[in-house]
Amino acid sequence: MNLALWIVAGLLAALALAGGITKTFVPKQKLAAANGGGWTGDASVGFVKALGILELLAAVGLILPAVLDIAPVLVTVTAVCWILLMVGAMITHLRYGEARFILLNLIYLAMAAFVAWGRLGPEPFTG
């Protein structure tokens, strides 16, 4: 179980890192032209970059606190925050008629829920 939680947290961190780098550093016009990025055309540059920074922080928060054994509860907090972010992403993709991305966001939400549940319950980080 512990290994599965680490693998899922690692996958989520990699996804968050990729999304964060993209939203933070790729120009908004290029994002808007990408498949599934139509929503960025209506969002401000600051909002898109803020989401990117939040995703970069999520990538760090899903791994680093546990690895360094400094406030490992932040892994769970980050997973819950990722769940909220995915709810927002699903609502946004629904508004833009991008149904296939809703399924992808639902999978990411389920992964984060697994990490949050696993670290709160059966496999908490204990010193």
Task: Give pLDDT tens digits for 43-88.
Answer: 999 999 999 999 999 999 999 999 999 999 999 999 999 999 999 9
Backbone angles phi and psi of 124, in degrees to 5: -70, 155
Mean pLDDT of 75-103: 95
pLDDT at 50: 97
Other beta carbons within 10 angstroms of residue 44's beta carbon come to 10
pLDDT at 78: 98
pLDDT at 121: 87
pLDDT at 101: 94
The rounded distance, in Å, linking the Cα atoms of 127 and 72 is 10
Question: Residues 14-42: pLDDT tens digits?
Answer: 999 999 999 999 999 999 999 889 899 99
Question: Residues 6-20: pLDDT tens digits?
Answer: 999 999 999 999 999
Other beta carbons within 10 angstroms of residue 10's beta carbon come to 14
pLDDT at 126: 64
